[in-house]
Structure 1
Amino acid sequence: MSRPSSLTPSPDVEVPGPHPSAPPPGTELGEHYDGCFGCGEELENGLRLRTRVGEGVSVDTEFVVGPGHQGAPGLAHGGLLSCAFDEALGALGYLLHQPAVTARLETDFKRPVPVGSTLFIHAWCTGVEGRKIYAKAVGRLNAPDGPVAVEAASLFVAVGFEHFMSNGRPEDVRRAMQNPDVVKAARAFEVNP
C-alpha cells in the first residue's frame, strides 16, 4: 500500500511499545463515550464498534454492517467505513496513553462491504515522531483472515485533554464528565494523577 509522505513516518522512526499501564492483549476497550458515533451505544444507527487490544500497539475491531449503514442499496456507505477505520485507528492512543485527534486519514476501498457482513479491522501503530502518531489498518470481510475490503493509513496528533474540554460542546463535555468511566479514563492519561 503506497502512501503520501504525510502518512509515512521517516525510515528511522521508533515504533513504540504499549504504555506500561495499557490494558493487556485481549482486553475489550469498551466505549469511551456513550454518545460516540463510532463506539457508543446511545445513537440508533451508530457503528457500535467493539475493539480488543492486540499485540504491541495494535487493536482488533469488529463492525457489523446494519441496514442503517447503507450507501448504495445493500452496501455499506464508504464514509461510514472511513469512520469505522478512524475509530479503530484512534483507539491506538489508549495503548500509548496519549489522547490524539485525527490529522489525516486515507482509505482505499478494495471491494464492496455488504449489509449483514462483519468487517474485521486490524489497526497498528507504525511510528511516533514528536506529537505525530502514524498508523495503518486493514479491514477483512467476515473473518479475521477474510478477503481485504478496505485499507487505511493515518496521521494522528497528540493533544492534551484540555483540547476536548475547550473545544467540545459544553453540555456534552459536562455529561461525559458525569460518567465515572470517562473520568477514570481521562485520569489514566494524566502524567501526574
Structure 2
Amino acid sequence: MTSDAEKTSGAAKAALPERPAGAVEPGEELDPLHPPGCFGCGAVAGGLGLRFRAGEGLVVVGSFTVRDVHEGAPGLLHGGLLATAFDDSLGTPAMLAGMPAVTAHLEVDYRSPVPIGATVWIVSRVEGVSGRKVHVSGEARLNDPAGPLAAQARGLYLRIDAGYFLAHSRPEDLAAAGIDPSAAMPEGAGRRPGRA
C-alpha cells in the first residue's frame, strides 16, 4: 500500500511540462471548467462561485468570497469547504496545461481561520507530471493573493479522457455538460483495469 507521503512526494521525480501553445494568456479569466451544477465553480445557490485567472507558466489564481452560508464554526469558513475550493483549484492548472484530470489524493494543512466576508485567493500550480500522474500544490491566502496564509494543499490528480465520464456519469448530467452520452466509448476508456 502506498503511503500518503509517497502519493504526493513523486512530484520531485516528475517532469514539469511546458505551457501549451494557444493556452489562455496570463491574467485572462478562464471559462468555468465544470458544468453549472459544480459546487466549487458553478452557479449553485450557496456554492463557492470560484473564478480563475491564468498565471505565468502552469499557475492559476482563483478566488471566492466567504458568505454566511459557508459558515462552520461561528463566523468562520467551514474547513471542508476550503478543501472543496482546493479540490477545484488544484485541478485547474492541469486543465490549463491541456491535461484533464481527476483527484486521486488531496491533503490540506490549515494554518489560520478564515472569517466570513473574507475573499480567499488560491494560487495553484502544476509541480510535475509522470505518466498519468499530475502533481499539484496550492496556497490559500486572505483578501489578496499575497495576503496572510490560511492553508496549503498538495494533490495527486490522474489524467483522464472523456471516456471516464461516459463510464461513470449519468446521461442527463453528460448532456448538461455538453458531452454526447450516446458517443461511442473507446475500448477500456475511463475504466480501471478489470472493470467492465
TM score, norm. by length of structure 2: 0.85
One-letter amino acid of the counterpart of residue 35, structure 1:
G
Q: Which residues in structure 2 correspond to 1:180-191 (within 5 Å)?
A: none
Partner of 1:101: 102
Partner of 2:39: 37
8 Å contact kept, 1:124–1:135: yes
For structure 1, the 5+ residue unaligned runs are 180-193
After superposition, the CA RMSD in angstroms is 1.6
Q: Which residues in structure 2 correspond to 1:63-82 (within 5 Å)?
A: 63-82=64-83
Residue 46 in 1 paired to residue 47 in 2? yes
What percent identity do the matched residue pairs reach? 42
8 Å contact kept, 1:9–1:126: no
Q: Which runs of 4+ in 1 moved over 6 A?
A: none
Larger radius of gyration: 2
Partner of 1:128: 129
Residues 161, 64 of structure 1: alpha-carbon distance in 2 compared, 3 angstrom cutoff: same
Distance in 1 (alpha carbons) for counterparts of 2:93 and 2:169: 21
1:10 Cα deviation after fit: 5.2
1:21 Cα deviation after fit: 2.8
For structure 2, the 5+ residue unaligned runs are 181-196
Name the SS for the 1:40 alignment partner: coil
Distance in 1 (alpha carbons) for counterparts of 2:175 and 2:42: 17
Distance in 2 (alpha carbons) for counterparts of 1:105 and 1:88: 11
One-letter amino acid of the counterpart of residue 39, structure 1:
C
TM score, norm. by length of structure 1: 0.87
8 Å contact kept, 2:95–2:101: no
8 Å contact kept, 1:22–1:94: no
1:178 Cα deviation after fit: 7.4
Name the SS for the 1:103 alignment partner: strand
One-letter amino acid of the counterpart of residue 66, structure 1:
R
Q: Which residues in structure 2 correspond to 1:143-158 (within 5 Å)?
A: 143-158=144-159
Question: Which stretch of structure 1 is more off in the superposition, 152-161 or 20-29?
Answer: 20-29
